[in-house]
Amino acid sequence: MKNRMGVRRALLASCVLAFSASAGAGEPVPSAAAGQGQAEAQWIASDALVALLDQTGAKAVPVRLSGLSERAATVRDAWLEAFSAPDSSLHLDGDLEVIESASGTIRLVMPGVSIRAPDASEAAPSPFVLDLGSLAAVLEPVAEERWAVVWELPESARLRDQDGDVVGVMTTDERSLRGLWAADLGTMLKADLRLQGLDLRLDPEAVQGYREGDWNGAGGDLPPDSELPGGLSAERLTVTLDLEEPEPGVVSGPLRLALDDVVVESLEGTPMARLAALHMGADYMGLDLPRLTALSELAADPESLMHQDPEIVLTDLLAAIGGVQTRVELSDLVVEGPNGTGQLRLRSAAVDTGLMPSEADLPLSDLRGSFQARGWRFHDEDSAIEVDSFGVDMRLDRVAPVTLLRLGMLSMLSDDVAEAELLGFSREILGGVGLGLSVSGVAGVMGAVPGVEAAPFGLERLEFGVGLSDLDSRTPGLSLSYRHQGLSGDATGMNPIPEELFPREVSVDLTASSLPTGTLADEALASGEMGAGPEAIFLAMLENATRLDINEIVIDLPIAGLRFTGHAHAEQGEDPEPGMLSGAAEMEIRGLDTVVEYALAFSGSEAARQQIVGIATILKLASEKRSTDDGEVLHFFRVEGDSQGRLVVNGNDLGALLMGGTP
């Protein structure tokens, strides 16, 4: 027995000497293929050493016996720090094993890796944890502080609840993950994750347990197995990151995620939802990683943070973030109702956001956001609705976070902020804002209201938009638009407006420029009175050359119609001529006689009827009669006038008549 132990020890000693010699210092870094092959051979030798150590009763040490190099130790510390970061979703439940080859290639073995909520703690544990088990990664040096990384991923992973019980198992047919890690930046610059044949199966007993717990005391029947999720499968999941580093530490590039051919099944195995594709992406522009790291470390030290100038910190943060644009889109979503009672379909949908610097030299930002959906269809036992397209757009121009910070700090430090200061801040906070809404191709039948017969309804198109521009100047602008076409039917069956008076089309398009808000605000501060009178407003409009454009107003009823366009502008006169407000407009009325008849029928007094007849008579006398292709009579008006009493209607000067004189 002693001889056997002596032979084993001698063999072990010779293996140790051979392994140490092969891992000597000064050996040049080989090519990627050669280095990887040599590293694998040395790991096999290391495994043999561990096996011999186990046979002799010694403790296995999963590192090179000659110790880690300084570079390998730095890599180990960086990965341990990443796992232990408070905001990390990755958790390591075990000791990180590090094996270094003579070529400098490093193998990391990570036991007990799990993914959980970043803010999870003992007091507030993550509701679900994805237990990946043991992972391994091979790091090969490719440049100074740059490592090519290839991960070895497990075939399956367990989904656990906050009590640690397994509630599901996720498997993949094929899997790979590789990338480029920047040690000095502590992040991946490039990554390529590919999972094929992704499948998640939930434990029926666990799902039923949650069902009973959620519904306990709520009353009513428990949902059947056909309404409870039992699993999810996807043909493939890919995640790619491709960051370039045009200058040290500053990166730009895309991050993409794609999930294809997704099916959600019930506990019975029937499809509950299907999704052809889900794509998510972000484009980073000028992300300063070292500066962000420094700011993060500063935020983690409240005492040091208290001694910093908040404006400088915020300005640094905005500069470090640079610009980012994101997009989330899905296609061909189908959600089945329980037991085939209904269905929801969505052909496509997308959400876009953006945060971009407004100007290079100013800490201003432009924010953008939009939502677009197409091909929305829904039906159940009582209703059927379809919408061809729906969209919302939002923008904020030249947002000034530093100014907002100053205003907030001033409000906290003083209970009485001077109105002049508030006015100054208000002109710096925001440069412009816009909001838009659009809907097209709406049609359907709603469920019947008791006592009212449901009728089909529809809408060809609806658009709405409002915008404010140049808010950071003394003369901002305003735009307002609204339009609907093809409005028919009534979704509720309770519309009080007669069908012949319900507008099939309405269009409003207005713009105003050089609004005199700056002048009026200055005068209000000087006088101490916030409400300006008509004369003050008129003079301010003259001073700032305010202009209003009515690009279009259209109201189309089944029995009548109105079309109106025009403009008005203020202009200062040259001495001794006074300034004035002038304008011109065109108006077209269809079905004037019919409108008068309806107005007389609905009038409540003889005086009202006489007034209606008088107005109609004046309109007919002043108008120019025209005809449509269908033979309908149109009453046309072209009006020009100004604030000095000039009024011309269809070439006839009516100013003197209205002023009491002779035309």
| β-bridge partners, 161 | 128
Average pLDDT over residues 431-444: 95
118 contacts 90 by C-beta, under 8 angstroms: no
202 contacts 265 by C-beta, under 8 angstroms: no
Residues in CB range of 145: below 8 A, 6 or more apart: 182, 183, 184, 185
- For residue 185, which amino acid is it? L
- 407/421 Cα distance (integer angstroms): 9
CA distances from 225 to 222, 357, 380 (A): 9, 51, 20
The three-state secondary structure class of 608 is: helix
Nearest to 583 by CA among 566, 571, 599: 566
pTM: 0.79
Output the pLDDT for position 364.
84
92 contacts 113 by C-beta, under 8 angstroms: yes
pLDDT in tens, 275-296: 999 999 999 999 999 999 899 8
Token couple for 357: 């610097």
pLDDT at residue 19 is higher than 90? no
% of the chain surpassing 70 pLDDT: 81
Greater confidence (538 vs 36) lies with 538
pLDDT in tens, 196-221: 999 999 988 877 766 565 545 445 56
139 contacts 148 by C-beta, under 8 angstroms: yes
Rg of the Cα trace of the chain? 37
Confidence of residue 8 (pLDDT cuts 50, 70, 90): very low
- 264/257 Cα distance (integer angstroms): 19
CA distances from 348 to 235, 278, 332, 461, 474 (A): 19, 10, 6, 19, 43
CA distances from 495 to 142, 356, 561 (A): 72, 46, 21
| β-bridge partners, 552 | 509
- 171/153 Cα distance (integer angstroms): 11
Average pLDDT over residues 360-379: 89
pLDDT at residue 592 is higher than 60? yes
- 455/449 Cα distance (integer angstroms): 10
Instruction: Pick left, alpha or beta for residue 312 (phi over 0 → left; psi -120 to 50 → alpha; otherwise beta).
Output: alpha
pLDDT in tens, 36-62: 344 444 444 444 333 333 333 333 333
